[in-house]
C-alpha cells in the first residue's frame, strides 16, 4: 500500500521498477566498479534511456514530469545498491549539477547542458569546493574576468565528484573583487576546454565507485552565453541548490541505513553462537529494534520536510535537521550493523564494511554536521 500523503501507487510502481533495475543492473557489478574506482559510463546512458536521470524534470527538457517524491524514491532505492559511490555520482548528475540549469538557465543552456544530462549523453559535475575553501563557500577564489564576449577563468576546485571524466561542470566562481558572497557567479564550463586539467584523481576511504578529482582552470575561455543566470547572483543560486542537495542526501542516507539494517537483520537470524541464532540474544534484538527506530524517526522527518519543500516552501531549518539526523543515523546504523557481523563485518568480502565506510562521507559532504548545526542553532535563536 502506498504511504500517503507522500507516496501514491504510481510512486510504488516506480519504486519497483528502480529496485528491479538496481538488483539486475547495478548490484551484481558493484564489486567490479569499486575496484575500478569508477562506474562504466554506459550505465549513465542506460539510465537516461530509462528516464531515471530526469524523473522530476519537465517533459519540455526531456524529463518525466514527475513530482518531488519521484526523486525521493529514486534516491532511496539507488542507495540500496550496495555502495554509496555510484548513487552519489548519479545524484550529482540529477540533483546537484543540473537543478540550477533548470531553475536559472535559458533555453540555449538547457538545450546544450540540461537535455544531454537528462538523456545520459553528458556527465555532469558541480564545482563549489576549493583546496582552501570548503564550508566557507563565500570565500572561494576561483576568478572569472570578462574579456570581450568571453570570460577567462583561473583557479582550482577540489573533491569534484565525476571530475576525472565529466563533460561539463556547473562552476562557482568570483566575478568581481567584492568580498564575500556578493561577487559570485555560476558558469557552465565544458571540461574539454583548453586550460582545464585534472591535476589528480583522489584516492578515497570509501565511495570508491565514484571518481573524485582536483580540477585546475588555467586561463579557460568561456563564452558569455555560459554564464548561468545573472552575474553576481551565484551565491544565492548555490545556496538554493544546496537545499535540494541536502534533501536528497537525507533520502540517500535513509536508503543506505535500511540496506545496512537488512544485512544485519538477516545475518543475526542466520548466524548461530551458543547453539542459537544471535538474534535471540536480547542485546542484539534490542540493537536491531533501536536501529529500526532511528531509521523511521529520520524517515518521518525527511518525508515531512520534503513534503513542504515539494509544495514550494524552503524550510531550511528542517532541511538541515533532516540532513544532519539522517547522515548521523546512517553511519550509526552501519556501525551497529558491522558490530552484529562480528569479525566477518571487518572483512572486505562482506559488503557491510563498505556501507560503514561510505556512510561516513554523509557527515561531511553537502554541508558537514557542524555546518548543519550552525544553521539550526541560528534559526532557534542562538
Ligand X SMILES: Cc1cc2nc3c(=O)[nH]c(=O)nc-3n(C[C@H](O)[C@H](O)[C@H](O)COP(=O)(O)OP(=O)(O)OC[C@H]3O[C@@H](n4cnc5c(N)ncnc54)[C@H](O)[C@@H]3O)c2cc1C
* Residues recognised as catalytic: 245
Query: Within its chain, how far is the Cα of 256 from the centroid?
Result: 12
**Secondary structure in 3-state letters for 228-256:** ECCCCCHHHHHHHHHHHHHHHHHHHHHHH
Closest CA to 104 of 244, 233, 249: 233
Region binding ligand X by CB under 6 A among candidate stretches 4-12, 61-69, 122-130, 312-320: 122-130
Report whether the peptide linkage leading into residue 5 is cis, meaning its omega lies within 30 degrees of zero. Answer: yes
CB 175 within 8 A of CB 187: no
**Shortest distance, position 138 Cβ to ligand X, whole Å:** 11
Binding mask 194-223 for ligand X (x = CB under 6 A): ----------x--x----x-----------
Query: 304, 368, 375, 376: which one contacts ligand X (CB under 6 A)?
Result: 368
Which residue, 81 or 287, is less far from ligand X as judged by CB? 81
Which residue, 154 or 344, is less far from ligand X as judged by CB? 154
Query: 22, 47, 75, 128: which one contacts ligand X (CB under 6 A)?
Result: 128
- Residue with CB nearest ligand X? 134
Dump strand ranges (E) for 60-113.
Answer: none
Which residue, 66 or 94, is less far from ligand X as judged by CB? 94
Instruction: Determine which helix (DSSP H) or strand (DSSP E) holds 71, and give its type and residue range.
Output: helix 68-78
333 binds ligand X (CB under 6 A): no
* Pairwise CA distance, residues 348 & 281, whole Å: 26
Which residue, 188 or 291, is less far from ligand X as judged by CB? 188
- Interface with ligand X (CB under 6 A), residue total 21
The SS3 of residue 382 is: coil
In the complex, which residues of this chain contact ligand X (CB under 6 A)? 92, 125-129, 134-135, 159-161, 204, 207, 212, 361, 364-365, 368, 370-371, 374
Amino acid at each position: 500500500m502506498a504511504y500517503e500523503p507522500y507516496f501514491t501507487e504510481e510512486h510504488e510502481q516506480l519504486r519497483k521498477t528502480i529496485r528491479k533495475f538496481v538488483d539486475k543492473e547495478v548490484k551484481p557489478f558493484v564489486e567490479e566498479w569499486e575496484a575500478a574506482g569508477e562506474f562504466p559510463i554506459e550505465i549513465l546512458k542506460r539510465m537516461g534511456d530509462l528516464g531515471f536521470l530526469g524523473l522530476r524534470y519537465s517533459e519540455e527538457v526531456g524529463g518525466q514530469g514527475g513530482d518531488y517524491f519521484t526523486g525521493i524514491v529514486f534516491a532511496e532505492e539507488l542507495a540500496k545498491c550496495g555502495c554509496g559511490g555510484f548513487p552519489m555520482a548519479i545524484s550529482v548528475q540529477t540533483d546537484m549539477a543540473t537543478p540550477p540549469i533548470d531553475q536559472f538557465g535559458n533555453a540555449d543552456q538547457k538545450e546544450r547542458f540540461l537535455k544531454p544530462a537528462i538523456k545520459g549523453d553528458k556527465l555532469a559535475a558541480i564545482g563549489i569546493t576549493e583546496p582552501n575553501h570548503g564550508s566557507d563557500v563565500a570565500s572561494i577564489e576561483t576568478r572569472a574576468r570578462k574579456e570581450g564576449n568571453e570570460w577567462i577563468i583561473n583557479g582550482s576546485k577540489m573533491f569534484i565528484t565525476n571530475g576525472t571524466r565529466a563533460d561539463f561542470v556547473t562552476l562557482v566562481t568570483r566575478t568581481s573583487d567584492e568580498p564575500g558572497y556578493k561577487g559570485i557567479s555560476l558558469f557552465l564550463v565544458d571540461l574539454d576546454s583548453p586550460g582545464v586539467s585534472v591535476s589528480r584523481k583522489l584516492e578515497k576511504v570509501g565511495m570508491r565507485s565514484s571518481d573524485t578529482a582536483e580540477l585546475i582552470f588555467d586561463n579557460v575561455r568561456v563564452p558569455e552565453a555560459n554564464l548561468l543566470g545573472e552575474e553576481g547572483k551565484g551565491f544565492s543560486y548555490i545556496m538554493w541548490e544546496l537545499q535540494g542537495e541536502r534533501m536528497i542526501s537525507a533520502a540517500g542516507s535513509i536508503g543506505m541505513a535500511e540496506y545496512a539494517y537488512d544485512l544485519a537483520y538477516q545475518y543475526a537470524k542466520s548466524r548461530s553462537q551458543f547453539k542459537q541464532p544471535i538474534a535471540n540474544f536480547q542485546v542484539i534484538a534490542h540493537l536491531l529494534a533501536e536501529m529500526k527506530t532511528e531509521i523511521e524517526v529520520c524517515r518521518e522527518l525527511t518525508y515531512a520536510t520534503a513534503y513542504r519543500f515539494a509544495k514550494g516552501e524552503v524550510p531550511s531549518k528542517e532541511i538541515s535537521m533532516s540532513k544532519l539526523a539522517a547522515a548521523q543515523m546512517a553511519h550509526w546504523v552501519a556501525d551497529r550493523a558491522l558490530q552484529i557481523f562480528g569479525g566477518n563485518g571487518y572483512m572486505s568480502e562482506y559488503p557491510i564494511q563498505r556501507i560503514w565506510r561510505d556512510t561516513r562521507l554523509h557527515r561531511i559532504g553537502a554541508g558537514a554536521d557542524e555546518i548543519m548545526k550552525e544553521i539550526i542553532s541560528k534559526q532557534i535563536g542562538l
